[in-house]
Amino acid sequence: MTAAASIRTARREDAATILALIRELAEFENLLDQVRASEEDVLRDGFGPSPRFECLLAELDGQAVGFALFFHNYSTFEGRAGLYLEDIYISPAARSSGLGRAMMIRLAGIAAERGCARLDLWVLHWNPAREFYRKLGFGHMEDWLPYRLEGEVLTKLAGEDRS
Instruction: For residues 105 and 16, give the distance between their C-alpha atoms in angstroms, rounded to a whole number.
Output: 25
How confident is the model at residue 133, as a pLDDT?
94
Instruction: For residues 55 and 20, give the distance between their C-alpha atoms in angstroms, rounded to a whole number.
Output: 14
Closest among 104, 118, 9 to 53, alpha carbons compared: 9
How confident is the model at residue 2, as a pLDDT?
62
Domains, the chain, ordered by start: 5-158 (3.40.630.30)
How confident is the model at residue 64, as a pLDDT?
97
Is the pLDDT at 163 greater than 80, yes or no?
no
Catalytic positions: 133
Q: How confident is the model at residue 107 (pLDDT cuts 50, 70, 90)?
A: very high
| Prediction pTM value | 0.92
Instruction: For residues 119 and 70, give the distance between their C-alpha atoms in angstroms, rounded to a whole number.
Output: 10
Contact 57, 14 (CB under 8 A): yes
Over residues 28-65, the pLDDT tens digits come to 999 999 999 999 999 999 999 999 999 999 999 999 99
